[in-house]
Structure formats: structure tokens, C-alpha cells
Amino acid sequence: MIQIMDKVWLKEGLDLRMITFLCTATDFRKGMIEMVPNSETLRKIQLEHGLTGSFKDRPIAEWLQKHNTSELEYHHSVENFTYSCAGYSVATYLLGICDRHNDNIMLTTCGHLFHIDFGKFLGDSQMMAGFKRDRVAFVLTQDMAYVING
């Protein structure tokens, strides 16, 4: 569905620089997923700043700077991040994709943000002690906003 949304957006002249990947079923409850090279989970990126890295403003920005050393490369990676973050925010919201956390969101070294693990969708949220685990409709953390806003 995300790939279809991206194709529609592209047809309408809106390139949100989405990273999509293939998933092929090989048997009941078995399959293969295409790897996206040069990418890390947000959790791993944030842990480079210690156990409290997910509460800091700069982990993603500094990780992008580390992988995009020239000012032009960094600017391009921030653009990729901004567009793809917007695209995935809309897609995950419209499709009701739940269980969004920093292990299910990845980032390529050139700034493309993308989501993985779509086991919970159409509002099928995980429950914990009788409460929905997902507290927000889509993920936009302070370190994501820092990259976008500078």
C-alpha cells in the first residue's frame, strides 16, 4: 500500500523520496524481505548518545552529519529526511499502522526515513494492561523535528 501511495504521489508530481522494499511470501507465515543497504534503526542511532539518546535533540542530525560530511551532502540528506518523514507520517496515519517505535523506524545514510514491521495495521493496536500501547497517530519525535527545523 505504501508503494501504491508513493506511485500516486509521484504521478501527481509530489516526490516524497520514499524508500519502499519488497516482501515475498514463500510459505505460510514465512517470507523474504528486501534489505535496504546503508540503513540503521533510530534506536541504534539514538543509543550512540547513551541510554538517554532518545530524549535528546541532536542524535539524528549528528548521525546524518557524520555520514554526509560536506555542507551540500548534509543539506540534501536533510531534504531527503524531511520529505520521507512527511510521506511516512501520512502513510502510517492513513493506513492505521500501529506499533511505531524507534526499532521500527529506520534511516539511510543519505537521509531517507522509512518504516518496517507492519504487523499491526488498520488500527489493530497492541494492548498493555487493557490500554492501547500506541499513544499517537504517527511518530514525530523531538530529534526528528530538530532535523527538519534545524
pLDDT digit string, tens, across residues 86-145? 999 999 888 888 767 788 999 999 999 999 976 555 566 666 666 666 666 678 899 999
- Tell me the residue type at 146: Y
Q: What is the CATH number of domain 37-149?
A: 1.10.1070.11
Cα dihedral 22, 11, 83, 63, rounded to 10, equals 40
**Pairwise CA distance, residues 132 & 128, whole Å:** 6
Q: What are the cell numbers at 97?
A: 499502522
The domain segmentation of the chain, as residue ranges, is 37-149
Percent of the chain whose pLDDT exceeds 70: 86
